[in-house]
Amino acid sequence: MTLLVALTWDPAPWVERFRRMLPEHDTVVLGDEFDRNKVRYVATWGPKPGSLSGLTNLAALFSLGAGVDHLMRYPDLPDVPIVRVAQDDLTHRMSEYVVLHCLMHLRDQRRYDGQQRQRIWRDDRHPPAAREVRVGMLGFGVLGQDAAHKLRALGFDVAGWSRSGRPVEGFRVYGGGELDAFLARTDILVSLLPLTPDTHGILNRDLFAKLSRDGRLGGPVLINAGRGGLQVETDILSCLDDGTLKAAVLDVFETEPLPEDSPLWGHPAVTLTPHNAAVSEPEATARYIAEQIRRFERGEPLENVVDPSRGY
Ligand code: NDP
Ligand code: OXD
């Protein structure tokens, strides 16, 4: 049986691992000579139109990341189960990112970075305690919940918002219809939503204006590590300029790579990273996919299967 690796970036590190971890399968890449009828599995990120056609015996598609918006956009998506990445290595990386930036804002670290550059010794503030800062996880799935547990261990006051409002032990979870109440109690908004037709552009001026105005940080902070399509960048910039937002930490952008002329690069209240909050590390991700294939071949259900009707 054949596993096709269909990537927009260099497939070599993935092919080496799949061949090592699944020696009983043929691993091929686009451009190789191979029989499309024998392809049983595809591991992919951002497949080009046409690259998945004619796979008559396909059993499952594996996204090489947690998000699947890259697949939902694909015309003629094969009608097979789509498995996304939900494994500890990626999850822990995202939690590191979220915790890092919540702490950076709790402790006002950017201000001290600025003071250091100017050789200023000034200590005229009493930072709030973590328990006095309310973090709101916009999207309370695998990533949002793991980060929430770690933030809570540090003392932050954490709540979640999800479509279903499904209870999560130990946290107040707001359901889809309770967005305003959730925003009103949020000082640091952490966006870990998938990009779907329902969430596109959700991070806009209307939403930012509903965030808490009485928090201990002196204004709401946005952290978006979900997808760039969730945010309206002109709104983020104008809200930073008029004080609706105090600061923004952005890992994802409407256009990636972020264009050189974007005003986000030089804005003093913006921290940005190049969409690497939680990379899919090849060894851990290939191991996860190989395990899923083995489960499937033992007749066990695949895990973390996407619901195409919801888009995530
Ligand atoms: P999950 O599917 O586990 O969680 C998604 C959460 O979003 C769920 O709580 C879901 O609600 C909620 N949600 C979805 N749609 C809506 C909606 N319309 N209204 C309210 N809530 C909604 O995903 P993960 O936590 O694993 O990943 C989240 C996203 O993080 C990925 O889709 C990807 O875009 C991004 N990501 C970014 C990375 C980076 O490096 N920047 C790396 C990895 C992922 P419910 O619980 O009710 O289903
Ligand atoms: C992902 C990502 O979805 O890296 O995994 O963005």
CA distance 115 to 306: 47
State which of 200, 202, 207, 312 you would mutate to test the pocket of ligand 1, scoring each by most atoms of that ligand within 8 A of its C-beta. Answer: 312
Q: Is the CB of 67 under 6 A from ligand 2?
A: yes
Cα 102 to Cα 108: distance, rounded to the nearest angstrom: 10
**Which residues are 29's β-sheet partners?**
5
Distance CA 61, CA 67 (A): 13
Catalytic residue, chosen from 275, 287, 294, 298, is: 275
Q: Is the pLDDT of residue 279 over 90?
A: yes
What is the spatial distance between Cα 56 and Cα 50, in angstroms, rounded to a whole number? 14
Say if ligand 2 is within 6 A of residue 280 CB.
yes
Residue 4: which pLDDT band, with cuts at 50, 70 and 90? very high
44, 90, 199, 252, best to mutate for ligand 2 pocket (most atoms within 8 Å of CB): 90
Higher pLDDT, 69 or 124: 69
Q: How far apart are CA 224 and CA 221, in angstroms?
A: 10
The contacts of residue 145 (CB under 8 Å, 6+ apart) are 137, 160, 168, 171
**How far apart, in whole angstroms, are the C-alpha atoms of residue 44 and residue 78?**
13
Q: Which ligand approaches the C-alpha of residue 278 most closely?
A: 1
Residue reference for tokens 């107040």: 172
CA distances from 86 to 2, 70, 306 (A): 23, 16, 11
Separation CA 47–CA 74 (nearest Å): 7
Separation of CA 256 and ligand 2 centre (Å) = 13
The secondary element (H helix, E strand) that includes residue 184 is helix 179-184
Whole-number average pLDDT of the chain: 97
Q: Residue 93: pLDDT band by 50, 70, 90 thresholds?
A: very high
pLDDT > 90: what percent of the chain? 98
What is the mean pLDDT of the segment spanning 187-193? 99
Catalytic residue among 227, 287, 294, 310: 227
- Strand pairing partners for 221? 188, 247
Query: What is the residue with the minimal CA distance to atom 42 of ligand 1?
Result: 278
Q: Is 294 a catalytic residue?
A: no
Ligand 2 near 226 CB (within 6 A): no
Q: Is residue 275 among the annotated active site residues?
A: yes
User: Ligand 2 centre and the CA of 47: distance in Å?
Assistant: 14
Q: Is the pLDDT of residue 125 over 90?
A: no
**Predicted local distance difference test score (pLDDT) of residue 126:** 87
Q: Looking at residues 161-186, what average pLDDT do you find?
A: 98
Q: Which residues of 72-90 are buried (b: 16+ CB within 10 A; e: fewer)?
A: bebeeebebbbbbbebebb
What's the rounded mean pLDDT across residues 63-77? 96
